[in-house]
Structure 1
Amino acid sequence: MFIKRFNLKDSIRNLEISDIDFTKLNVLVGTSGAGKTTIMTALFSITRIADGESSPADSWSIEFIDNDNKEIIWSGRFSGEIDLDKEDNDIAELIEEKIIIDGIVVLEKKDGKTTLNNNPLPVLDKYKSNVYLLREDDELMSIYQAMQSIIIVQNDSRAHVSEASIPIMSKKLPKKVGAFFKKNKDSSINDYCSIYNDLDCRSKIFFAKQYDKEKFDEFLFVYTSIFSNVDCINIKKYNGVKKQNGIQMQHGFHLNLKLNDGTIVEQEDISSGMFKTMMLLSDLMFSSKFTVLLIDEVENSLGVNCLPDIIQEIKSSDFQCIISTHHPKIINDIPPKNWLIVSREKGNISASKSTEIINSTSHHDKFIQLINSCIFRGEDQ
């Protein structure tokens, strides 16, 4: 997947994100409160809509290239009239939805009627998107799969930052992954992730170590280059992990680090910086070429020693990355042509290129040029 452009309007919060155009590498920069995290959250909200969630009073449009290289424009609008579902979550009717594939309107919902290739459809669930409801349809399946390719890393992303938790997986997943590598002996973990979107960052480490020694060794080399006191990463599998209701139904696994002096550091004792670095490297090195990786405030929890390698992996990635940052070192390390300077005027958030800096012949530090630029300060260029 490759996101070309998107916009979103939240009528409840009187918030509007104007059209933002993306390239392969995108760095959101701007003053605190400008809207960088809001942009990340808005993109994540669109993925949740694709996964069947309701988003009251929101309207959106997103243009992207799906995993089959088709040009997609998907837009929609939820009502502002809020209902409650069985769990007392706010929901609203999706009153408009349109899917355009390679310039042709394939699906449209409007005035209470939905058509697919000009054929009327019954009302399946008025609160959910048709991208979700029709995800098994041959024509729309690749759109749903593309939206599942988006990975977002925020400060509260459990898989990336909660070193004390034990990841749980279904009994079927290890069998499914094992069967794939048994059938496709020369495949990599990236090949698996190109077909299936069911592995989070920790699961990628677990299965890469089992089935893709070459890629895991490369991952370990990068990690131990950052943390030179680490010798190896060990993984312990638990069978039949007890859930809260006491039923033993699922599997889990636990990571630890072996240091050069033989000391074992259990997962819950791994520092937040070392743990997050490991998880980010997992997504950067093991994900599929169709991935879109969103990292909000990439520098959070990472030490100065971690940042250069993480940024280098982001810059050399095969897939699209959208990151936000305040950090001078990161901003200086990434060319201005990749910056999107975020600004806010009342409830309107926009992001634009800074031709003032891109075309500058100044020898001053790029970060200094940024914070002194008209667009960063909210002045007309």
Structure 2
Amino acid sequence: MKIISLRLKNNFLGWDFDEVDFSSNLTLLVGVSGAGKTQILRAILDLKSIVNGEAINGLEWKIKFSTVNGTDFIWEGSFDTIEADEISFDDKNEKEKSSLLYEKLTSENDILIERTQKEIKFSNQPMPKLSSHQSMIYILKEDKVIEKVFKALNKIEYRDNTITEENIPKLTIFDLQTLKNKYNTSKNIINSNENLRTKLYLIYENELDIFYKIQSRFIDVFQQIECIKIEPFEEDFFKSFAEFVRVPLILSIKEKYVPKWIREDRISSGMLKTLIHISEIYLSNPDSVILIDEFENSLGINCIDILTDDLIHQNKTLQFIATSHHPYIINNIPYEYWKIVTRKGGHISIRNASDYHLGKSKQEAFLQLTKILEKQS
């Protein structure tokens, strides 16, 4: 999937932004703190929630996107707005959920879904009354055409790449062996729905060439590294119960002139985050839209240089939408990829760098951008 353009309004929270072009494989949202950059990423993620059956109070949207086979779709809709003291946090209470006021899905000028409060049409045929709290894409996801749309919108992924115990998968040895047998080629590992760390383990265990590409790119950044590995955590306590106890997959690195492997709890956060970023570029499901908030967090200068280059050049099947405050990142990504984010009250403006008539060189453009952001702050 690739997002081509997007317009969003949240009537409950009281903010909106006009239609924005996101057709590039990389978009860098640049702006001062509080301008609305993170809000934009979260709103895009809300669309994935809607397509999976959730109701987002007061959200109004219009998104144009293309699927893996190049088919363009426009999906738009609006939920009614319920005041805060009327909202129930109990998902089982259908009456207090926000309801769809309208929803429309078109492709190549054909109207596939058209829904109002009075009627629902699918391929121009009337349908019976259905849940007003769920998107028709969710309800009709078993249909051959709608299934493609459902799967495409589910390729929106949010990443902050922090390393916490919660996002480290835990599996039994039996589970890992089953996965290793099931996914034994680079293609079926990459196309699987397994999480990133499990994918990295599978390519490591199956000794696939793509693992050595990731390792080589990591060593380009950290030249003191000899090799990396990822294995189930094995302490003596677990070994007797390995088939039944769920254990985490742990990353380790081997440095030159250091005799022992260094486990990830002793590795710098910048090193780990760099490895995750590199793995993501090589192993993410093709045609994913990856949202990265504050790309620079925990990264050193030596990491940023190579990773920004990889975002631009390495993988053309992924779309990245990232935010950043870091001058090095901004200065090293050509300004045609910048979207300058400003906010006045509840209205968020997202403009191309070219609208500001920035300098011809990267350095001139960056210096002028710095002045623009200083005025905003």
TM-score with structure 1 setting the length: 0.84
Partner SS, residue 306 of structure 1: helix
| 8 Å contact from structure 2 (residues 32, 376) kept in 1 | no
Structure-2 residue corresponding to 1:201? 196
| 8 Å contact from structure 1 (residues 3, 63) kept in 2 | yes
Question: Which one-letter code corresponds to 1:258 in the other structure?
Answer: K
Q: Which moved more, 1:269-278 or 1:227-236?
A: 227-236
Match of 2:181 among 178, 182, 185: 178
The answer on 1:7 being equivalent to 2:10 is no
Structure-2 residue corresponding to 1:19? 19
Partner SS, residue 145 of structure 2: coil
Match of 1:113 among 119, 128, 131: 119
| 8 Å contact from structure 2 (residues 179, 202) kept in 1 | no
List per-residue Cα deviations over 1:193-233 (Å, max 9, x = no partner): 34x4x122212211222346110000001112212233322
Match of 1:85 among 80, 87, 90: 90
Structure-to-structure mapping, 1:58-73, within 5 angstroms: 58-73=59-74
| 8 Å contact from structure 2 (residues 358, 364) kept in 1 | no
Task: Work out the CA distance in 2 between the residues paired with 1:88 and 1:225.
Answer: 54
Return the offset for 1:9.
Answer: 1.1
| 8 Å contact from structure 1 (residues 332, 365) kept in 2 | no
Task: Work out the CA distance in 1 between the residues paired with 2:108 and 2:180.
Answer: 33
Question: Which one-letter code corresponds to 2:196 in the other structure?
Answer: C
Shift of the 362–310 alpha-carbon distance from structure 1 to 2, 3 Å rule, reads closer
| 8 Å contact from structure 2 (residues 27, 322) kept in 1 | yes
The answer on 1:188 being equivalent to 2:191 is no
List per-residue Cα deviations over 1:5-57 (Å, max 9, x = no partner): 11111111111121111122211111221111111111111111122222111
Return the offset for 1:124.
Answer: 4.2
Question: Which one-letter code corresponds to 2:186 in the other structure?
Answer: S
Return the offset for 1:267.
Answer: 2.8
Task: Work out the CA distance in 1 between the residues paired with 2:46 and 2:351.
Answer: 22
The answer on 1:291 being equivalent to 2:288 is yes
Return the offset for 1:307.
Answer: 0.5
Cα RMSD for the two superposed structures: 2.9
Task: Work out the CA distance in 1 between the residues paired with 2:40 and 2:134.
Answer: 22
Shift >4 Å, 4+ stretches: 86-90, 169-174, 248-252, 356-359, 361-364
Task: Work out the CA distance in 2 between the residues paired with 1:331 and 1:139.
Answer: 40
TM-score with structure 2 setting the length: 0.85
Shift of the 61–340 alpha-carbon distance from structure 1 to 2, 3 Å rule, reads same
The answer on 1:344 being equivalent to 2:343 is yes
Structure 1, unpaired ranges of 5+: 155-159, 182-186, 243-247
Structure 2, unpaired ranges of 5+: 239-243
Partner SS, residue 60 of structure 1: strand
| 8 Å contact from structure 1 (residues 163, 267) kept in 2 | no
Number of matched pairs:
359
Considering fraction of residues, name the structure with more helix.
Answer: 2
Task: Work out the CA distance in 1 between the residues paired with 2:226 and 2:89.
Answer: 52
Shift of the 25–231 alpha-carbon distance from structure 1 to 2, 3 Å rule, reads same
List per-residue Cα deviations over 1:115-151 (Å, max 9, x = no partner): 2112233344332222222222101111111112122
Task: Work out the CA distance in 2 between the residues paired with 1:70 and 1:101.
Answer: 7
